[in-house]
Chain A
Amino acid sequence: MRPAGKTHAAKFALALAVLIGTAAAPRAQDDDVVKIGVLTDMSGLYSDIGGPGSVAAAKLAVEDFNPAAHGMKVEVIAGDHQNKPDVGANLARQWYDVDHVDVIVDVPTSSVALAVGDVTREKNKVFLGSGPASSDLTGPKCSPNTIQWTYDTWMLANSTGKSVVETGGDTWFFLTADYAFGQALQRDTTKVVLANGGKVLGDARHPLQTSDFSSFLLQAQTSKAKIIGLANAGGDTVNAIKQGAEFGITSRGQQFAGLLVFINDVEALSLKVAKGLVLTETWYWDMTEANRAFTKRWQQSRPGKFPSMVPAGVYSSVIHYLKAVEALKSDSDGRAVVAKMKEMPTDDPLFGKGSIRVDGRKIHAAYLFEVKKPEESKYPGDDYKLRATIPAAEAFRPLKDGACPLVSG
């Protein structure tokens, strides 16, 4: 070994300094920026429902909260999970570990949401799921770091599903997107159909983002069920209904039940095709003055489009999150922030007063809408008429039925 000279010692000291310097940095610091990550589907079948619209809503929420007035710094970034759980989970991990993101919002596509929920729990951050539907997120997969904000499959089944059965649709055939969301929606709706004296004659499971439904629709026709329940969403629902019209499904006595339909789907189908469709949303842009005002601002970045309940949920969840962080004076402990959010009652211009349950379920009223006929619509976006209001106390699954480990007793 060479005798240690001056240069050798200097190199050794430098190396030691670098090693100590980098070794001190591994844990994410509690920086003073609240970073919000909008993880959504930017270009796939759910991009109209969430996508850039959700990003716009998050930015509006930050604007309205006015961080400067509260002495906070807030940043919003966006990412595309492409409806793939592995892509979403990796992006979430990178955001939490490297980019100091404190909360992830939106995440339509339930399979991605379940994966992101797991990562969020592991990293003790916050996940506010305004986009996903699966009721498992507040059931067996509930977590102290997750809040499901806008809607879920149980609510849809008990609102749309129940109303369809009660008006005579007692035999069902399901057209199901074959992944977590579709299966959850089919399961929850089947329970409702059977509980109300109906029968399920069969199902056809299709891959997510299918463009040709012809053979599945043919199976539905052969089953002779009165109702073809669409346990899918976004582009899949639009394609199924369009091709159903092509194959003369409705003219031969069968009806579609759109179990999850958003205003963007109605716009894509046009009122001529979608008229009479019964659906449930928890927020409609034309219901209150505050909703209309929000929509006008939102449309500045999304001209010609209308916000569904998903961006509205993003707005509401971000505002409440920022209020909780301000009250706690910190954003680093995800569980603490979520606990604070559950402790504080919610109040925002879009959803009004509400609350968050111990299982992570945000509670508010649900509305059963019917799509207007073209001649009933007076201006663009005038698509819905209100059929019924389901009060908040009844809209969601009772706490004891969820099998959520966080619910004691």
Chain B
Amino acid sequence: MSGDSVDRARAHESGAGNRRAVRDSGRGGSGTVELPVEGDLAAGTIVLEEATRRFSVRADRGRTLKEMLLRRNREDDGGPAPVTALRDVTLRIEPGETVGIVGRNGAGKSSTLRVLAGIIPLNRGRVSTSGKIVSLLEVGAGFGRDFSGRENVFLNGALHGLGRREIEAQMEAIVEFSELGHFIDAPVKTYSSGMFLRLGFAIAAHLEADILLIDEVLAVGDEAFQRKCEARIAAQIEAGATLVLVSHDAALIERTCERVVVLDGGGVSYDGPCGPGMAFYHELMGTPVAE
């Protein structure tokens, strides 16, 4: 298992041999909360401390220089306030844990994943992760449409920071896992959405992650391939990887996750074992499951 940590924006590596990547949010100043950082994090650990992230949802916000100049002297004209996607979220996930994040639409699930992946910075609080993160947030993001499936494996592996030789070493396994057969050499613009998923997941599943972040993408696969993905994920967890999965598929969560985090309105309203967690979730959603 590769143990190199993923460097992040404004990450500071503290001390030699320390594989922790810590991101402080806010550009210094008032917003930053200083929390005591514990010692070395083992690869696969995720720590969120009082993480807060707001998004502006003003459709008419000055998105051009012209508007900015025109509106400079005008007061706010009463658009919706920024949405707080994450509100003081504190989570600690240990290596090898399997965590399902559930909640209604807009509860902050995808934002949480994108924060963990380091794509979105926090307004306040801190996120620390250790080890190699592989995220599958959108299948086919970054696929070159005129490229063959095989060429896209190289492109996608490169996006995760791999070199040519590392990707070549995994190529046969990826092609086999995807079951794309001779389609692997056809341009991906001819692929169906299921084939996209097969290729995207096959790549992500062979990157030897310490932390796997998966956002509601497995649903497009057929049942057999879904099971295969689950088995592959299980094998990676067996090997010590951490899984964070966002899904609306309660059965999938119950099959794959031991721990459930229910997000509501950007905050954690439940964090604990899967069984009671899903019961809580169904109650919250008003969809109790009849036994």
Partners in one complex: no
